[in-house]
Amino acid sequence: MNTTENPICELRALSDVIKSSLDKIEAVLQSISKPFPSLDDTSTPELDVVRLIPEIFRASEDVIAAAGQLTAAIRVPALNVGIDCGSAQISTCIRVAIQTHVSEIIREADNKGVHVKDIAKASSTGIDPGKLARVLRLLCTRHIFREVSPDVFTNNRISSTLDTGKSVAQIVKDVHAKHDDTSGFAASIEMATDELMKSSSYLPETLFDPKTASSGEPNTAAFTKAHHTSQSFYAWFDLPGHEYNARRFNMAMKGLRSPMASEAMRQSYDWKSLPEGSVVIDVGGGTGYYTLQLVEAFTHLNYIVQDRESVIEEAAPIWEKLQADAIRSGKVKLQAHNILAPQPVQAPAIFFLRTVLHNWSTAYCIKILRNLRDAAGPNTKLLLADAIVLHACDEDGADYDLPGYTPAKASGPLLANKGAANILNYIMDMNMLSTLNGAERTIVEWRDMLKEAGWQIVHASRSVAAEFYGSGLLAVPA
């Protein structure tokens, strides 16, 4: 029987997906004698590493997709919409918790329960304990923190990811330096609940304003309305008064660099096959975090990291500390370059761009890609590590004809794009639209855009963890 003809059958089918997927996870864990981390544990790399095992990740993806779809199917429709509308409150409360240093305060109490009055006092923010309790209670209901007794809170596996690892005394002494020299993850979440959330709230006004509705300019995105500025997202950070935002942004970019993405990048191309001394250019590479991973793994290559002058200035001491010999020998060069200007390096082996083009509208992407095409030699390859957004319906029958790409196809009752399991890509798409007029793109959009810029895709693949931007596109001069 078609499950859509019998809603109960669909619910049971989703339940079966959850059960069978949990069975797969349990079997893998038993084979390696490892536990699955509890929600009540604090998050540690040692505990969480099991989730990155491909078999466990794929099974977990199915559990998340089925659970999300099951919840949507069984809950009263009006409640579904109402709760989604209220998700902004969760984002706001997360920001309050970060800026009140709740995770660090609880961690210093050995993750034993701390009364909200003591949390408020230790934070030195002047926050009212009763209001903070209400903030934390909403987060606990979303499984972020735990309320162990009335008004007494502790960390769990989710809330502990907001912990910078610094002492509360150190944070309170210089709040603006809270995220400096940390993993950067808490910084990325705080930024998402600040600049990004504020921008998204002005998206309707931007989409319906005739002056901005069809614009692809970065300084006409919703961000400009939200922040009452004529400057684009990146330019705004350089304005006086936004020093903390800029510091937090730089650390946030570090926080988005996951170990899984690093491994996916190292495996995204047969780097060993490149001849000795081949030049790899990390275009828009920030401070060169991913180039650093390549330098350590593939020592026979030469590298150039390109980004804005201010970013390259920041990169210099980092490389001097971590890879001074590579800089002094010339194996790695740090080069200030405007990505919209003609490419100064001719005929390298690889142009590598990771999560760069999603910052730009299609017209700007074509300009960037054409500059690279003009500088490419006959054997130059273009490697893009970026999201490939799936349609929410089956892509079977679509004329993609792209080696390596597997069209989206629904698995049993699940959505073709795995719904809740991959929703981060679609949230990021709205973030890009709201802040920069950028976009995450489908495979057809990638193919057509690259073709117009003079490139031809020769291989396209989506990693197991596409939301970590491990997807890859390999193109050659057309």
Residues classed as catalytic: 358
Q: Report which of 383, 412, 299, 387 is spatially closest to residue 13, judged by C-alpha positions.
A: 412
Residue 93 structure tokens = 């409360």
Q: What is the rounded distance in angstroms from the CA atom of residue 423 to the CA atom of residue 430?
A: 11
Backbone angles phi, psi at 405, to 5 degrees: -90, 130
Tell the residue number behind the tokens 């790899």, with chain if given: 280
